[in-house]
Amino acid sequence: MSQDKIIDHLFRHQFGKMVSILTRIFGFSNLEIIEDAIQDTFLKATHTWKDSIPENPEAWLTQAAKNRTIDLFRKIKADKSRIQNLDSGPSAIALNELFLDSEIEDSQLRMIFACCHPELQSKDQIAFALKTISGFSQKEIAASLLTKEESIKKRLQRARKTIIERDIKFEIPSGKELSERIDNVLQVIYLIFNEGFHSNGKNIIIRKDLCGEALRLCKMLLNKENLRGNSVYSLFALMCFNSSRLETKATDDIVIELKNQNRKNWYQPLIEMGNFSLQKATTYPIISSYFYEASIAFQHSNAKEYKDTNWEKIDFLYGKLYEMYPSDFISLNQAIALLQLNDYDKVELKMKSVNPKLLEQKQHLYYAVYADLYSKQGKTNEAKIALLKTIELAQNEKEKDYFRKKITEIK
């Protein structure tokens, strides 16, 4: 791995840790100063490591972060009493202890819950989380969320302003507030993962970095006993199942259908981890929508061959998911399950209940399902027309290529 790639990798994984620790010390009012200081640390690393990278680069960066802490005290003119309280106050943690692994994780969890505070707009939450926790640049966030870089800049500024004006605490909430806030946290993690697994970018099918980051964040929640529950275990299971087949979902940026993926190349340890997490989810009394989604993914991941998939069970699970969380996208997926069962009348009925405009960026999939239905029924002209509509609406160029190929295969 090249020096630039190593530094980029470390930046991605260390940035959020450093931001969280220093925000815990200096507070949200100094967040921009903190982020600038960390950027300086990495610029220094790039220069210092020009000839050789230290044996333990993470330890080097941790020490650099500690040094920057002292520099920051001078920059923001913290008074003596504050420094003394940090070192020896009854309610404070000594500076060195803040850099212990357990305290780093605790600081990151505090940041996640702050990013997902209900006072922040939902669009601002995910942008702020990707920036402060995951170390994504404004340009990367803009590309991930299909929006302009200037819009992301405004979202980040608005989030910082809201946090300061509303005096949002850098803490993990408790009681009723915890159960409410954790739903926001999981939704943000879910959105991050989905953007990685089904990228809305024009030329990218999957973003493994986003999938990995979502898994990492969810794992941090599971590390805290009081944060565990059906929804957290279920979401982690869902992401494990889906991540297990990332390597087979596309080859050279060519989309590969689920039925054509080489299941021998699915990553079995992730499937086993998903199975374990889903089983743990069943030990909690309240069932979440993530549980049904994970149960559907379980059926796919544990079927040895595509023909072994239990589509009756999947149809049932989509029905339960719809009862809990009605949406046109769930109805569309249920129609796909019914199509595998060759129940064309039910497919037609289900498709009539779907409003394609409510599918937003995934609107093209509505016509893709109709194309498969018509193709199975031997209506080749109708199938081709539906695929042309699919291609017209698809935003991803690789998906367009995939559907163009499907047209040539219709006889």
Q: Which residue has the tokens 């009723």?
A: 176
Q: What is the pLDDT of residues 174-191, one digit of tens each?
A: 888 898 889 989 988 998
Which strand (E) or helix (H) includes residue 135?
Answer: none
How many CB atoms are located within 10 Å of the residue 320 CB? Answer: 15
Contact in structure between 350 and 335 (CB atoms under 8 Å):
yes
Res. 59: pLDDT tops 90: no
Supply 13's token pair: 């994984």
C-alpha span between 16 and 341 (Å, rounded)? 46
| pLDDT at site 218 | 95
Res. 371: pLDDT tops 80: yes
| pLDDT at site 29 | 85
3-state secondary structure of 251: strand
Res. 84: pLDDT tops 90: no
Res. 295: pLDDT tops 80: yes
Res. 320: pLDDT tops 50: yes
**Which is more confidently placed, 312 or 103?**
312
Judged on CB neighbours under 10 Å (0-12, 13-18, 19+), 162 is middle
C-alpha span between 191 and 29 (Å, rounded)? 27
C-alpha span between 287 and 323 (Å, rounded)? 12
**Which is more confidently placed, 348 or 410?**
348
Which strand (E) or helix (H) includes residue 29?
Answer: none
Q: Where are the domains of the chain?
A: 228-309
**How confident is residue 141, by pLDDT bands cut at 50, 70 and 90?**
confident
C-alpha span between 399 and 361 (Å, rounded)? 12
**How confident is residue 117, by pLDDT bands cut at 50, 70 and 90?**
very high
Angle at 122 between CA 116 and CA 126, to 5 degrees: 65
Res. 349: pLDDT tops 80: yes
Q: Which residue has the tokens 């069932």?
A: 287
* Amino acid letter, residue 164: I
Q: What is the mean pLDDT of the chain?
A: 86
Res. 347: pLDDT tops 60: yes
Average pLDDT of span 10-39? 82
**How confident is residue 143, by pLDDT bands cut at 50, 70 and 90?**
confident
| pLDDT at site 88 | 44
Q: What is the pLDDT of residues 67-79, one digit of tens each?
A: 776 777 676 665 4
| pLDDT at site 90 | 38
Res. 234: pLDDT tops 90: yes
**Which is more confidently placed, 61 or 116?**
116
Average pLDDT of span 292-310? 96
Contact in structure between 110 and 172 (CB atoms under 8 Å):
yes
Average pLDDT of span 390-406? 89
Considering only CA atoms, which of 212, 207, 213, 228 is closest in space to residue 270?
Answer: 212
| pLDDT at site 69 | 67
